[in-house]
Amino acid sequence: MASYQSYSFFDENSCIIAWFGTMTNIEEQKQALAKKDEFIGIASHELKTPLTSLKGYMQLISAYKQNELPPIIKQFAGKANEAIGKLANLVNDLLDVSKIQMGKLEFNTSLLNISDLINICIESAQFMYPNYIISVHGDKDGRATGNMERLEQVLMNLISNAVKYSPVHKDIHIVTEVTETEVKVSVEDFGIGLSDYQKERIFERFYRVEDNTYATSGLGIGLYISSEIVKAHNGKIGVTSKLNEGSTFYFILPIHE
C-alpha cells in the first residue's frame, strides 16, 4: 500500500508558487514498526529481571557499614544508583510501550487535586533541574479523576522535555486553567520550538525531530506514552509552538464534579 502526499507553497496573493508530491510505501513502514514493537516487548521484559536484582544489590551495598566506607566508595555508589535510576526509567518506558501495544496499560483511578499533582512534580523538577526557574501560574484547585502516578509521569515528561529542548532560556512556566468542565495544565518553554510539520508527528511512537544543529539523546517514546495515558483518562494532549521561540505542551482532563 502506498500513501500519497502533496505540498503546496503560496505567495502573498495565495497563488501556488511551488508544488511537490511524495509516495511512501506504508506497508513496509508498518512492518518495520511491528518488528520494532516485537523487539521492544521481548527486550524490555528480559532487561527488567537483572535490573531488579542490580537495584537490590546496590541497596545492600549502599546500606552496608556506612560509617566504615571511604567517602570515595560512597560517591561511586551514589553515581551507580543514579545510573541505575536512569536505566530503570528507560526500561519502564519500553515496558509501557509494549503494554500499550497489547492494550494493557491498566491503572486504578481516584479523585485527585491538580494542585497536589503540580506540587509533587515541581518539587521533583526543582531538585532535578536546579539551573531552571520553574514557576506556577493560574488557578490550581481543579479536581479530576485519575491515577496520580501516571499523571505525574505525563507532567514530568513534559517538564523534562521543556528542559531538554530549551538549553539556553531557563524559564519554564506551569500554567493551570480550570473551567466548569475541564482542567488544563500547560508547560511552556522558550526553547528550540517546533515547525508545523514536526508538530503533527511528535506524539507518534519512535518519532524524533531530525535536527543536525541540535542533537539530544532519547527514544522518541515519552510523548507517545504521555498521550496514551491522557487518552486513557478521557483527556486531550496537544502542543502550540513556534520554531526557535518555544513550545507549550498541554493536557486537558475532564473535571470531577
Report which of 108, 13, 89, 3 is spatially closest to residue 44, judged by C-alpha positions: 89
Q: Which of residues 188-227 bind ligand ADP (CB under 6 A)?
A: 189, 191-194, 202, 207-209, 218-224
Q: Which amino acid is at 251?
A: F
- Rounded Cα gap, residues 165 and 247, in angstroms: 9
Q: Which is nearer to ligand ADP, 144 or 159 (CB)?
A: 159
Nearest to 163 by CA among 96, 222, 84, 91: 222
Q: Which is nearer to ligand ADP, 117 or 239 (CB)?
A: 239
Smallest gap, in angstroms, from Cβ of residue 4 to ligand ADP?
26
69 burial (CB, 10 Å; 0-12 / 13-18 / 19+) is middle
Taking alpha carbons only, the member of 203, 208, 202, 174 closest to residue 188 is 174
Residue 151 vs 192, nearer CB to ligand ADP = 192
Q: Site for ligand ADP (CB under 6 A): which residue of 161, 229, 230, 251? A: 161
Does 247 help bind ligand ADP (rule: CB under 6 A)?
Answer: yes
Q: Which of 77, 144, 155, 162 binds ligand ADP (CB under 6 A)?
A: 162
Q: Residue 212 has what DSSP assignment? A: S
Segment near ligand ADP (CB under 6 A); pick from 38-46, 129-137, 144-152, 186-194 = 186-194
Q: Specify whether the CB–CB gap between 114 and 183 falls below 8 A.
A: yes
Binding mask 64-103 for ligand ADP (x = CB under 6 A): ----------------------------------------
Decide: helix, strand or coil at residue 108.
coil
Residue with Cβ nearer ligand ADP (146 or 222): 222
Query: Which residues in this chain contact ligand ADP in the complex, by CB under 6 A?
Result: 161-162, 165, 189, 191-194, 202, 207-209, 218-224, 247
